[in-house]
Structure 1
Amino acid sequence: MLKKTAIVTTAFALQILAANAQKNQLITDIEGRKTISLNGKWQYIVDPYETGFYDYRFKERLEKDNDAFWNSDVPKNKYDHKEYGYSDKNTLKVPGDWNSQDAKFLYYEGTVWYKKTFDYKKSNASDRVFLSFGAANYKTDVYLNGKKLGQHIGGFTPFNFEIPDSIIRTKGNYLVVKVDNKRGAEEIPTLNTDWWNYGGITRDVKLVELPANFITGFSLQLTKLSPGDNKIQGNVKLDQSSNVSEVQVEIPELKLKQSFPASNNIAAIDFTVANLQYWSPKTPKLYRVIVTAGADKLEDKIGFRTIEAKGEQLLLNGKHLFLRGISIHEEIPQEGRRAYSRADALQLLGWAKELNCNMVRLAHYPHDESMTRIADSLGVLVWSEIPVYWTINFKSEEVLGKAKQQLTEMVTRDQNRASIIIWSVGNETPISETRTNFMHTLLQTAKELDPTRLASAALEVSYKAEGKNINLIDDPLGKYVDMVSFNEYLGWYLGTPDSCKTANWATIYDKPLFISETGAEAKGGFISSSKAMWSEDYQAWYYKEQIAMLKRMPANFSGISPWILADFRSPRRNNPTYQQGWNTKGLIDRNGKKKKAFFLLKEYYGEMEKMYP
């Protein structure tokens, strides 16, 4: 057993995290609620010194402070000098990152204040109103009509705040959102990454109307696979103030309608059904599910399937599964921007389907909800990950708390997505006892939140174990994951593609083995010879040798998700000829053109699909 590592505790920060989580219960399935969109043009102020938040003594401004940027920018009289102001001359589109919307923001990291005015009248006087954000990167403070609604930390997960009746108006509501995307040593992700840190309100903003007692979310999972006796279990969670004593679950197509008692604002769901059509990449069947609690009714489309790691194999619905994957960043390369829409998701997942993929690794953070919902409908399996990346502070209890929060928000949002089969808690974290304890805690948390899916992380590999011609995966974290996943770049960062000819792979763990990354860079359109690094030909040679190597992998080899579908922005990549601020390992270049290696991988996946349909 690993010894428990002493962790530095920041008590105050942990109290804030716990208080925010308690106060602001995450409301899921926003798509199925009564909503008013606040998307569109928002006015903004760039504030690199955070003048609107701190006074000249660097103390946080109070709500009554005349110079706080969340207060009105209209002078009270001719002697009231305002040194800030919102104007239609300065607008940003929401949702969307700020970096791609104006050249002055290209490499900007810092604070931007957003302002939106709107009129609003409740549909029903007794309804409660919430302000919902799909995501904003990274630290977000939200104010309405001069009153602070709350703060959220984390750039890729949803959050919401209730708006008291005493604050909201029928005319001229003044919504101000402070978004700060500065990287920090104590944040998730930390200072050092290999992707661009897009800032802004990057996903939908909506007002959500809910009855006094409402469903915050629910989960339904197939837990026992039996044609005549399929067991479905889960729960329905109610608002903390709810007094509803019973909930009802209905699946019309299965002629199922059952009621379940609720206690302490939660109802345990447990029923069996016959003749269930299982969700799979070949048959992505979704059922209409209706959940009712008092005056609240929630609908979703849900697929039912099982996923497990049994010995050396992955099993989907009890059948052997081989993952033909690709890694994806949430980015549209042709426009150099953060992806956020249904159309964006269709483009990225459409490319993956064209590649003959049955799986995608959504790296290195939770993607927009449209990605996982469309993956459900298209039959694409998903690895979903939180941005515990490289060298975060594994000694910090505060950092662990932030990682747990992001993991919880990711799982809570997407717990009904049949496409998601793996929750990943991180990528390429350096081995140490402290790190292993940290990551083990996250894996345990993932299992507590959702025991029906696999939990893993992308590990690094020990190339050429001493005295043996073998590359060994022996990371201590492998003891705790369901699937041993590792990143390897044999032929790019180590040797040439010829190195693959004699390479062998093994792990000390009796578990499925998965290559979570491999790849080589190539500038799109640079055609030369296979020996010319940075050319499409070299990348094609790399994939040719990798594929030959994959064909002699050990029996527990369960799939691969090469790095990466499309080129993406990264300030680490500064070769003036071949990179220019882009990571060019994509199989599709920044103009949306497929490189030579795309077709090699597509052919290999076509062969594997015939072997493992």
Structure 2
Amino acid sequence: MLGCAWTAMPTRAGWLVLGSLLVASSIGACGFATAPGRADLPATLSLRDVSGGVVAFQSGLPVPTFDPQPRFRQNLDGAWKFEPQALDSDLSLDDRDRTLKPITRELGMRAGLTFNDASWSSLAVPGTFDPPPVRSVTGGYYRRVFLAVAGWAGSYATLKFGAVRYVADVWLNGTYLGYHEGGDTPFALDATKALLPGTLNTLLVRVDNPAWGTRNDIVPWGLADWWNYGGIVGDVWLEATPALSAVRADVVPHLDGADVSVVVEHRGSVAANAAIDVALFPAQVTASNLADPDPLSLIPRDATPLLERHIDIGNLGEDAVVRIEAPFAIRGRDLWSPSTPSLYVLGVAVDDGGTPVDHLYTSFGLRQVKVDSHAPRVLLNGDPIAFNGVALHEEREQPAHAGRPAGGQLDAAAEIEAMLKRVLRVHADFARIDHHPPNQLFPVLADRLGVALWEEIPLYHYTPETFSIAMDRGLAQQMLVEMDLRDFNRPSVLFHGFANESTGGAERKAALDTLNALDRRIDGTRLTGQAAYGTDPADPTSAGLDVAGYTFYYGVLYGGRLSAPDIQTALMRAHNAYPDKPLMILEFGHWADDPADETRQLRVFNVTYSQLSAQFDVHPRGFIAAATWWSLDDYWTQRPGIEVETFGLFRPDGSLRPAGAAAARAYAITGPPAPVVGGQSSGIAVAIQPSERHGRLLGYIAAGVALPALFLLAVIVVLSWRPRSAC
């Protein structure tokens, strides 16, 4: 009955159900036929064993940090030239060993310095070539001519992209640098040989963003419920490094210190006598540095290091990559939490023969998130916590037009700060950021403002077939590793999500378990989960994950009329299916197209939240770790029949809807104190050897076993001793 008879379903609920059915049925009968999975474009990321551990490589380079560094950097954001083109996606998604020649022929002379691009339009980078409501453009060519200063001579040049949606092929001065698939995560390409210092250079990027619902071999693949912003949607810059450099520094936090791992690369032809100096600094967030992504800005001017250590690496030959461990212990430390978002800064200086040649800095926080081994609850720094949350899309709200959001993906720090402050305005301490990795400034600013985050990869409405395609291609795995590595040092990221509202039993569980194992290998400090359909509370596919996550629309999209007993029954079914796991409600909500809908939206919040909060895991016998309203703001969608989703607690003009005011009151009552921002972190730190932490742990375990055993032995001796009787 639903099929293609759209006119028979004029209600908002009908359109939402129809959208889900279209995705689940591959949308073929309604003119959105999806092509069978045939992409053969290899993943560009791999994990390699090097001296000291495992390192991720991509396009021939060890995956670097994408945080700002005190290195020479040439910013390539701003006005680019753009030519829209209907590109051949079969070429875009096939192996470059076969398709680079035809793609180059298609390119023509566009990558040349003398090519006349006067007829091309001007487009902002970062930005999009298909702002709503128009979605006719799915690809094209970006072109930028820039002067590379003479200072590049003698340095290695890395071209970094914050994100390009969806497939990017890159040429510099006519030299092909490489490609990347996936529209939300950063990538880097070696531009050293192609860059021409002291003269004009031409950078050309071919971007293909296949329309959702036309193929089943891209990620995401179907009609997703947000706007598909195509183009160069992240920052672009060139970064100079010396022959011997620090690639990245990863911090695995503990409550009493951290395991620090530094990746060092040597690219010179002459062997280097390498060493690193590692320093730990206090950090302080102020109004002046809150939105500054540079971690150096967080170090107070009069601050002295809490720890300094020197580590000799020894001789490194050409193309050597090593991983160096530099763990530390700390007492009197300040832990990160939404209420107390304390941070530290790690600095790494690289020496060649005693001469400093490179510096790298990163901010991080000390925290521990885990599931209680004795109860279905989340522990943050050892204490039970239940999150009051909102979900959001990283989309520009203002200036609103005719009651609709402005549209466009957020890319400016001030805009992202404003969105996170709206999260705090309703007293939420948790945000599910989009159905895909967000702009990397989101977790940076969430660290500083005190907002816990759920990040996820865009396996959205996946089916057994599309799970198999994405996993066989290695694309889901690559997206997860890219997200993990980019935000490795962001303490606000407490959860990693692997799928949203997907179907399939064995195929889905196999994919989730594979991604979970990979996440553990790369990171291991975050809790893992999915957002499963609430229609099946007993869904068994979360068994191998840390938490059982659900979207939850009882009384809205299913389950009959809104009813507290029905909500409670569904929650208990989920709890009975996972008695040892915390439940995370990752969506509940209602649209607000008109004043009557706003009244219904308010009732949905009040009835549903009252049932969720009563089972928060901070209560005895509680089992719910998060209640997440969908959504913070209204947003543009590509669902058929709907232009703008009006689920927001805020209207596009910035005013609170009644449900938003109710959420602010309720969250203020049940949530933690408001974040305290502005204090300087402190502590007394000491360097430890990589094996020393485990040695101390074994000592604690031995003491924990030996002391009770000795006590028990003494009790047995006393009880068994009897005085001799006189004969």
1:561 to 616, 628, 639: 628
Q: Pick closer, same or farther for the CA change 1:168–1:146 going to 2, 3 Å.
A: same
Q: Pick closer, same or farther for the CA change 1:414–1:174 going to 2, 3 Å.
A: same
Structure 1 residue 128 corresponds to structure 2 residue 128: no
1:150 Cα offset (Å): 0.6
Could you tell me whether the CA contact under 8 Å between 1:249 and 1:290 is conserved in 2?
A: yes
Q: Pick closer, same or farther for the CA change 1:163–1:536 going to 2, 3 Å.
A: same
Q: How does 1:166-185 map to 2 (within 5 A)?
A: 166-182=194-210, 183=212, 184-185=215-216
Alignment partner, residue 52 of structure 2: none
1:179 Cα offset (Å): 1.0
Could you tell me whether the CA contact under 8 Å between 1:222 and 1:304 is conserved in 2?
A: yes
Could you tell me whether the CA contact under 8 Å between 1:117 and 1:172 is conserved in 2?
A: yes
Q: Partners in 2 of 1:455 and 1:59 — Cα distance?
A: 38
Q: Pick closer, same or farther for the CA change 1:172–1:241 going to 2, 3 Å.
A: closer
CA deviations on 1:557-579 (whole Å, 9 max, x unpaired) are: 112111111111112152xxxxx
Structure 1 residue 205 corresponds to structure 2 residue 278: no
The more displaced of 156-165 and 88-97 is 88-97
1:431 Cα offset (Å): 3.0
1:339 Cα offset (Å): 0.9
Q: How does 1:16-27 map to 2 (within 5 A)?
A: 18=46, 21=58, 23-27=60-64
Secondary structure of residue in 2 paired with 1:434: helix
Q: Pick closer, same or farther for the CA change 1:10–1:179 going to 2, 3 Å.
A: closer
Secondary structure of residue in 2 paired with 1:538: helix
Alignment partner, residue 508 of structure 2: 435
Alignment partner, residue 722 of structure 2: none
CA deviations on 1:34-88 (whole Å, 9 max, x unpaired) are: 211111110111111459x89xxx975469859625433847xxxxxxxxx5226
Alignment partner, residue 671 of structure 2: 609
Matched letter for residue 497 of structure 2: S
Q: Partners in 1 of 2:105 and 2:134 — Cα distance?
A: 32
Structure 1 residue 248 corresponds to structure 2 residue 274: no
Q: Which has the larger radius of gyration?
A: 2
1:186 Cα offset (Å): 0.8
1:341 to 403, 407, 412: 412
Alignment partner, residue 436 of structure 2: 365
Secondary structure of residue in 1 paired with 2:666: helix
Could you tell me whether the CA contact under 8 Å between 1:188 and 1:399 is conserved in 2?
A: no
Could you tell me whether the CA contact under 8 Å between 2:259 and 2:326 is conserved in 1?
A: yes
The more displaced of 601-610 and 236-245 is 236-245
Alignment partner, residue 581 of structure 2: 511
1:260 Cα offset (Å): 3.8
The more displaced of 230-239 and 161-170 is 161-170
Secondary structure of residue in 1 paired with 2:68: helix
**So what's the TM-score if we normalise by structure 1?**
0.86
Q: Partners in 2 of 1:64 and 1:437 — Cα distance?
A: 39
Q: Partners in 1 of 2:511 and 2:384 — Cα distance?
A: 32
Q: Pick closer, same or farther for the CA change 1:232–1:610 going to 2, 3 Å.
A: closer
Q: Partners in 1 of 2:106 and 2:599 — Cα distance?
A: 62
1:300 to 335, 346, 362: 362
Could you tell me whether the CA contact under 8 Å between 1:222 and 1:231 is conserved in 2?
A: yes
Structure 1 residue 457 corresponds to structure 2 residue 530: yes
Q: How does 1:411-426 map to 2 (within 5 A)?
A: 411-426=484-499
Q: Partners in 1 of 2:524 and 2:179 — Cα distance?
A: 30
Instruction: Give percent identity, aligned residues only.
Output: 26
Task: Give the gaps of 5 or more residues in structure 2.
Answer: 1-35, 48-56, 93-97, 283-304, 315-320, 352-356, 399-405, 616-620, 676-727
**So what's the TM-score if we normalise by structure 2?**
0.73
Matched letter for residue 559 of structure 1: A
Matched letter for residue 601 of structure 2: Q
CA deviations on 1:477-505 (whole Å, 9 max, x unpaired) are: 22111111111101210156532344321
Q: Partners in 1 of 2:566 and 2:88 — Cα distance?
A: 56
Matched letter for residue 289 of structure 1: L
Could you tell me whether the CA contact under 8 Å between 1:73 and 1:86 is conserved in 2?
A: no
Alignment partner, residue 32 of structure 1: 69
Could you tell me whether the CA contact under 8 Å between 1:13 and 1:398 is conserved in 2?
A: no
1:169 Cα offset (Å): 4.3
Q: Partners in 2 of 1:95 and 1:543 — Cα distance?
A: 36
Q: Pick closer, same or farther for the CA change 1:501–1:63 going to 2, 3 Å.
A: closer
Q: Pick closer, same or farther for the CA change 1:70–1:33 going to 2, 3 Å.
A: farther
Secondary structure of residue in 1 paired with 2:447: helix
Could you tell me whether the CA contact under 8 Å between 1:497 and 1:546 is conserved in 2?
A: no
Could you tell me whether the CA contact under 8 Å between 1:131 and 1:161 is conserved in 2?
A: yes
1:437 Cα offset (Å): 0.3
Q: Partners in 2 of 1:48 and 1:593 — Cα distance?
A: 40
Q: Partners in 2 of 1:604 and 1:291 — Cα distance?
A: 45
Q: Pick closer, same or farther for the CA change 1:262–1:562 going to 2, 3 Å.
A: farther
1:397 Cα offset (Å): 6.2
Alignment partner, residue 445 of structure 2: 374
Q: Partners in 2 of 1:430 and 1:64 — Cα distance?
A: 40
Q: Partners in 1 of 2:592 and 2:470 — Cα distance?
A: 41
Alignment partner, residue 720 of structure 2: none
Task: Give the gaps of 5 or more residues in structure 1.
Answer: 1-7, 76-84, 464-472, 529-534, 575-579
1:462 Cα offset (Å): 4.1
2:178 to 135, 150, 161: 150
2:257 to 217, 231, 235: 231
Secondary structure of residue in 2 paired with 1:376: helix
CA deviations on 1:352-378 (whole Å, 9 max, x unpaired) are: 000101111112011111111100110
CA deviations on 1:368-413 (whole Å, 9 max, x unpaired) are: 1111110011011111111011125122365551011111111111
Secondary structure of residue in 1 paired with 2:563: helix
Matched letter for residue 455 of structure 1: T
Secondary structure of residue in 1 paired with 2:480: helix
Secondary structure of residue in 1 paired with 2:247: strand
As a proportion of its length, which structure holds more helix?
2
Q: Pick closer, same or farther for the CA change 1:262–1:496 going to 2, 3 Å.
A: farther
Tell me: higher relative CO, structure 1 or 2? Use CA pairs within 8 A at least 6 residues apart: 2
Q: Partners in 2 of 1:44 and 1:93 — Cα distance?
A: 9
Q: Pick closer, same or farther for the CA change 1:73–1:124 going to 2, 3 Å.
A: closer
Alignment partner, residue 218 of structure 2: 187
Could you tell me whether the CA contact under 8 Å between 1:287 and 1:303 is conserved in 2?
A: yes
Could you tell me whether the CA contact under 8 Å between 1:44 and 1:87 is conserved in 2?
A: no
Q: Pick closer, same or farther for the CA change 1:495–1:433 going to 2, 3 Å.
A: closer
Could you tell me whether the CA contact under 8 Å between 2:242 and 2:358 is conserved in 1?
A: yes
The number of residue pairs the alignment matches comes to: 563
Alignment partner, residue 446 of structure 1: 519
Alignment partner, residue 285 of structure 2: none
